[in-house]
Structure 1
Amino acid sequence: MPSLFGRKNIFAMKYLTTPRILLRAWDEEDTIPFYRMSQDPRVMKYFPGLWSMDMVKDFIIRMNEQLSQKNFTLWAAEVKDCKQFIGFIGLNAPTWNAHFTPCVEIGWRLATEFWGQGYATEGAKVALEYAFLEMHIPEIVSFTVPDNSRSRSVMDRLGMIRDIAGDFLHPKLASDHRLAKHVLYRIQNPLIKV
């Protein structure tokens, strides 16, 4: 039976590395640990609900398709020393409409046992460098709910600036949903003169 996670052009796909982590294309072996992570209420606190196995598989397929089409994605992240999956870090092109789209966002989601160790910041820094130096993307955005202080701290450490006027209601949620309000952060590519 063929794999859901076709690896046809794997050697042409971009991966990123830091001293401690590897950001790479998703593999079939990531499905179970990502599902477990997506069932953890602490990890999913700022999302509308826990993810089913079908949602996890769909996400993995979409991220690998985005990697082959756009040469960036929310890469699977693993600790290099032990090759352990820890979550995802990287770049994404949202498919919904907002006042700042189309755009490229930077994002991360890690299993709780890897929180507080600097992995999100470390991986996001190399993804940001890749976006600016190799992809020549003029601006990167990030967004979350106002109460998500962990993610907002990573955005601050990346040098992103809160765009207070850009705060928005997430279009995929009802306007009165507890997670609808989002704060928007931006960072400009310093190599591109406006």
Structure 2
Amino acid sequence: MTPVGRDDVDDLPLLYSDPVVTYWTGPWTRAGVEAWAADMAAGWTADGVGKWMARARSDGSLVGRGGFTRFDLAGEIVLELGWAVRDARTGRGYATELGRAALDWAVTHHADLPIVAFTEVHNRASRAVMERLGMRPAGIIRRDGLVEVHLWVVTPALRYPARDASHPDGITHQEPNVGTQVPDPDHAERRPIAVEDSRC
């Protein structure tokens, strides 16, 4: 995996043009992809965190993208875990592999930040991935005119499992050179996010 940057604007439209990916992430324009890639590059530079492009070890073909977005959730800075896998690659465990790789990375680089994930209530595939990652539901976010969204969190006592290197077409992983400090591993536990207002 490599950090998303401006050089990925030719590959990202391949991902976002897949029908199932488009259904969940919405239609993308070239300008939108370029702006998103620029934001991801800026996030890596400013915050030392962002999303990666994932490619198959065997031939370097695009698998998808995954990783984190750092933002303020109800007054608390969190890392939102997310992923998108090309339609032709779904059902092979790539989303779970992306999620586990991201969680492993976060323990080393941002152990002080809580991790959350969001999915629409009817997205059973994403919910299944979150369950496999050891996350748990923590509430429902409701906004007028929008589909209800589940909020999931990493549980405080979770010890992240080692990534499965036996995958027949596993994803390559490259540590981003972002100059982040490595926190004390004794403080690598996660704490849940309190969801007091489900309308937020």
Aligned equivalent of 1:107: 82
Alpha carbons 2:119, 2:127 under 8 Å: kept: yes
Aligned equivalent of 2:111: 136
Shift of 1:33: 2.9
Aligned equivalent of 2:151: 184
Shift of 1:32: 2.7
For residues 55 and 98 of structure 1, the distance between their equivalents in structure 2, rounded to whole angstroms, comes to 24
For residues 86 and 30 of structure 1, the distance between their equivalents in structure 2, rounded to whole angstroms, comes to 13
Aligned equivalent of 1:89: 66
Alpha carbons 1:137, 1:189 under 8 Å: kept: no
| Structure 1 stretches of 4+ moved >6 Å | none
- The one-character-per-residue Cα deviations of 1:43-68 (angstroms, maximum 9, x if unpaired) are 12123x30100111111111111112
Shift of 1:188: 3.6
TM-score, structure 2 as length reference:
0.72
For residues 73 and 114 of structure 2, the distance between their equivalents in structure 1, rounded to whole angstroms, comes to 15
User: What is the percent sequence identity of the aligned residues?
Assistant: 24
For residues 14 and 84 of structure 2, the distance between their equivalents in structure 1, rounded to whole angstroms, comes to 13
Which residue, 22, 30, 47 being the options, matches 1:70? 47
- The one-character-per-residue Cα deviations of 1:27-48 (angstroms, maximum 9, x if unpaired) are 555323311321233112123x
Cα distance, 1:193–1:93 mapped onto 2, change above 3 Å: closer
Aligned equivalent of 2:23: 45
Q: Does 1:167 align with 2:132?
A: no
Aligned equivalent of 1:58: 35
- Which one-letter code corresponds to 2:61 in the other structure? Q
For residues 44 and 100 of structure 1, the distance between their equivalents in structure 2, rounded to whole angstroms, comes to 31
Deviates more, 1:184-193 or 1:107-116: 184-193
For residues 152 and 96 of structure 2, the distance between their equivalents in structure 1, rounded to whole angstroms, comes to 15
**What number of residue pairs does the alignment pair up?**
161
Unpaired runs of 5+ residues, structure 1, are 1-22
Cα distance, 1:38–1:139 mapped onto 2, change above 3 Å: same
SS at match of 2:131: helix
Cα distance, 1:137–1:189 mapped onto 2, change above 3 Å: farther
Instruction: Kindly report the root-mean-square deviation, in angstroms, between the aligned alpha carbons of the 2 structures.
Output: 2.2
Unpaired runs of 5+ residues, structure 2, are 158-187, 192-200
TM-score, structure 1 as length reference:
0.74
Alpha carbons 1:76, 1:88 under 8 Å: kept: yes
Aligned equivalent of 1:120: 95
For residues 127 and 147 of structure 1, the distance between their equivalents in structure 2, rounded to whole angstroms, comes to 24
Higher RCO (CA-CA < 8 Å; seq separation 6+): 2
For residues 190 and 21 of structure 2, the distance between their equivalents in structure 1, rounded to whole angstroms, comes to 38
